[in-house]
A and B are shown apart, each in its own frame.
Chain A
């Protein structure tokens, strides 16, 4: 953080107006969330009357209780945790392995295969939903979490990301040294590759986790209403309470809380991850 020699030429402390503008920006990014709490804490009659009530009502907990009652909230929360962690774990493991091979090992076809990986980043795999649905039905997986986890287990981006990182972060000499000491290929991956990959892997895990957590389209199609993930449960809530936005938005608040908690603890890392990724990408 100290090397401020590169900072766009603005090294003086800025005036108040800059802070003013940034406060406005922050207001824009926080207001909708605040609004959903505002509505979510009132009752139907209060929000449907014209005129806006800017003071939160006292109804949030009651609304939240109704929400938890109407949709399988705890199941959805648990499912979201399971699905997002499994997907993050799987993506990280397979990406690190492949990234290590692409970055540090020599084998025939390496360049071609890596270009193939990069090209597949542009392939909209989401468009395969019709066959995926057919296949999942045949396998009898529809409604189970496997149907959501399996198609997300690898990403081309993950492989690309780990390859890029390991190329710079892991000196070839290090691998050669452990190889000299008689380590097998997998042994050298384990002792040298994996430790070096850890920071990038953690970042990849975090981003994959968030992406999976917020995913809606495929889970919406393939999961049962009784066994949803959080976004699918939210959709049901909209359906079940067309009458009442206070309930819908209190459900929205409930669903946001877990990731906001993650954000509070790891937001700094998220920021760093995006900024590092940008410089590399």
Chain B
């Protein structure tokens, strides 16, 4: 008798315990699963960013380490440096040269890939090939192609009677050369994103237009492009964050890696490197890093606002079109 009661009580207790365990399991497991991400991100993402702010208000030497607290001195100094503004200009200029033509080019290529081609996958793979070439390698190849006096591109230009362009001296040409490297590597990738979006457009839209007598070019401009707008925005947003931090290509563009004698193609990240590791001034390097961080955040917010507005309006337009 007593034994049986005992057993019952024990199993009851076990059930209760299991139940409790189970409740904990349900309640805490999700946090357990997401915690590695948050802990690691805090350690290697968030903490360094905040610590950058700390370093930026100190005298801080690469070798000598932390010095005195100097308040906003580093920011003041950096903002009064012409090279800071040059770098800011270059960063945006290179970004524009690499994003606008890339979007246009990718959209065009995608339109062709959208035809009912033979061996579709092969063509798609073909445009993606440059994506697997590391930026450093791309930069080495193109620095050679863009040689000022003995490069292939100038030689070809000379062949059609155009004077040699000083790719490593003049501002705009150097930006074009660097943007070409970026475009070479990423256009295929972007093309495939557009292609996917194009294929998702219901074909009734086209049929309606063709019945109305529109030709192919016309349908591309009046149907495809407007419908791709959200994707275009998406592409530009994703390229902003990386594009504004561009380092590899300008660094490898010449031997010295400082972005030219007049900093013609020095970008902000390159400037951070020069301040931190060339002049060994970690305080100023951190100040520039924080300023760039703010720039990127502002742009991200702008992006967000614009995207919402445009995405909203496009959706409305598609809906009204669909009704017709």
Residues of A within 8 A of B (CB): 1, 4-14, 18-19, 21-22, 25-26, 28-30, 32-33, 35-36, 39, 48, 50, 52, 94-95, 97-98, 100-102, 105-107, 110, 113, 117, 120-135, 150-154, 156, 159, 184-186, 189, 210, 213-214, 216-217, 221, 230-231, 234-235, 238-239, 242, 245, 248-249, 252, 255-256, 259-260, 262-263, 267-268, 270-271, 274-279, 281
Contacts and interface: CB of A to CB of B under 8 A. Distances in A.
Given A18-B112, A29-B127, A154-B40, A101 B33 contact: yes
A132 B247 contact: no
Given A29-B184, A128-B51, A13 B34 contact: no
Interface of B: 22, 25-27, 29-31, 33-34, 36-38, 40-41, 44-49, 51-52, 54-55, 109, 111-118, 120-121, 123-138, 140-142, 144-145, 150, 152, 155, 184, 187-189, 192-203, 205-207, 210, 219, 224, 231, 234, 241, 244-245, 247-248, 252, 255, 269, 272-273, 276-277, 282, 285-286, 289-290, 292-293, 296-297, 300
Classify the interface of chain B: helix, strand, loop or mixed. Answer: helix
B248 A217 contact: yes
Contacts of B54: 131
Contact of B224 (A4, A8, A105): A8
A50 B125 CA distance: 35
Contacts of B34: 97-98, 101-102, 113, 159
A33 B129 contact: yes
B241 A6 contact: no
B113 A263 contact: no
Given A14-B115, A131-B47, A234-B134, A101 B30 contact: yes
Contacts of A262: 132
Given A10-B114, A279-B200, 20 more contacts: A7-B116, A21-B112, A32-B145, A35-B145, A35-B152, A52-B155, A95-B37, A101-B34, A117-B37, A124-B241, A124-B296, A128-B44, A128-B47, A129-B48, A130-B55, A134-B55, A156-B37, A213-B134, A268-B125, A277-B193
